[in-house]
Structure 1
Amino acid sequence: MDIKDRVLVIEDDKSIRNFFRTVLEANNYDVLIATTGAEGYSMVTSQCPDVVILDLGLPDMDGMTILKNVRQWSSMPVLVVSARTHEKDKVAALDAGADDYITKPFGTSELLARVRTAIRHARATVLTAEGMQTGQFRAGDLLIDYDKHRVYVGDRDVNLTQNEYKIVSLLGKYAGKVLTYDFIIKEIWGPNMQNDNRILRVNMANIRRKMENNPAQPQYIFTEVGVGYRIVDGD
């Protein structure tokens, strides 16, 4: 099954939301929609999108608040889409961690190009805790290609998000060893991330859904209950 890149759109204007959904779904993206800032931030943490499209003028909060909160723990691509055209607004968003700033109105081709670029750049800069990992890890049908930053099961590209890849890559580096929840969280999201296992569990559920034939009976990544996760030993 082809795993689509997941785009979360945080936008309160119905016509613009519908435009995003139509264009992105027509180009093979899995689209999630949030209409408020609170809903959007909740979906960022629970759905782990590949890229976020964020409107600044939301009904319950300024989009800048969401951007700053996300940047405290994640480097996932965030594209700001706003009617604010002043240079100071663009600079503020980019300085706060936005990967791009798109001014309304904009065309279909421009939107798609910027989404593709954001995802490509994110995947090109995936790092492990000790820098760029190279080579390959094999375990049966599982292949982690550190040079390409891709994971395959058999001939199928698993198509992980950047954080999902980081988790699998980290486990592969310590194959056969149990990595604690706390260790994984600190390595992937940084030392300032609170020890909240929920986001790690969500990522792991998505990883298993993509990698395993039966996620309830995994072949590759195992849970050590109350401790952490372990990937199968390499060949």
Structure 2
Amino acid sequence: MSTHIVVINDDESILDLFRMILEGEGYKVSTSVEAMENVEDVERLKPDVVILDLKLGQQEEGWVMMQKLRMYPPTRFIPLILCTAALNEVRQQEDTLQDKGIPVVYKPFDIDEILKAVSSVLPGPDKKKTAEKK
């Protein structure tokens, strides 16, 4: 069974790019152009990883969604990756994010950065592959 990744970003072209990259690596990918109001929607998708943009629309809905995912027991342990261009906002929270094991990939990113972030949060054999490449 392949690893399921949910990508939430308000830019359709970025979502298409994520889908192309991640499906090319054998991952199952679901996408959304908006923060899911109910974390139950994320729970129903049963993702192994969530890649979340910090700024969705004009607000920082990504922060709110990240908080909801962490506070809701069924989703609290799903690995999260922040993918954002909001450099200043994230820099202020970088230590906290690191402490919580939430990697940040800054836009613009390259394919290797996003794949490395995904493999870093997944348990099991993917970690071995990453370690062998080093």
- TM-based fold match above 0.5: yes
- Distance between the aligned counterparts of 1:30 and 1:64, measured in 2? 24
Deviations 1:20-71 (A, max 9, x none): 0000000000000011112684431211100000001112761111111111
- Distance between the aligned counterparts of 1:50 and 1:57, measured in 2? 22
TM-score w.r.t. the length of structure 2 is 0.78
Q: CA RMSD in A?
A: 2.4
Match of 2:23 in 1: 25
- Distance between the aligned counterparts of 2:42 and 2:31, measured in 1? 11
- Matches of residues 6-85 of structure 1 in structure 2 within 5 Å? 6-38=4-36, 41-59=39-57, 62-72=61-71, 73=73, 74-85=76-87
Pick from 85, 101, 104 the counterpart of residue 107 of structure 2. Answer: 104
Residues 67, 96 of structure 1: 8 Å contact kept: no
AA aligned to 1:82 is: T
Deviation at 1:85, TM superposition (A): 1.2
Residues 8, 53 of structure 1: 8 Å contact kept: yes
Bigger Rg over Cα: 1
Between 62-71 and 22-31, the greater mean CA deviation after superposition: 62-71
List alignment gaps of at least 5 residues for structure 2: 128-134
Deviation at 1:117, TM superposition (A): 1.1
Deviation at 1:91, TM superposition (A): 4.0
Pick from 87, 90, 95 the counterpart of residue 94 of structure 2. Answer: 90
Residues 80, 98 of structure 1: 8 Å contact kept: no
* Alpha-carbon spacing, 1:34–1:75, altered in 2? closer, same or farther (3 Å): same
- Distance between the aligned counterparts of 1:48 and 1:97, measured in 2? 21
Q: Which has the higher contact order (CA 8 A, sep 6+)?
A: 2
Residues 5, 28 of structure 2: 8 Å contact kept: yes
- Distance between the aligned counterparts of 2:5 and 2:49, measured in 1? 5
2:36 is paired with a residue of what secondary structure? helix
Residues 54, 62 of structure 2: 8 Å contact kept: yes
Residues 80, 101 of structure 1: 8 Å contact kept: yes
Bigger helix share: 2
- Matches of residues 183-198 of structure 1 in structure 2 within 5 Å? none
- Distance between the aligned counterparts of 2:99 and 2:11, measured in 1? 24
- Distance between the aligned counterparts of 2:8 and 2:46, measured in 1? 14
Q: Share of identical aligned residues, percent?
A: 29
Aligned residues: 120
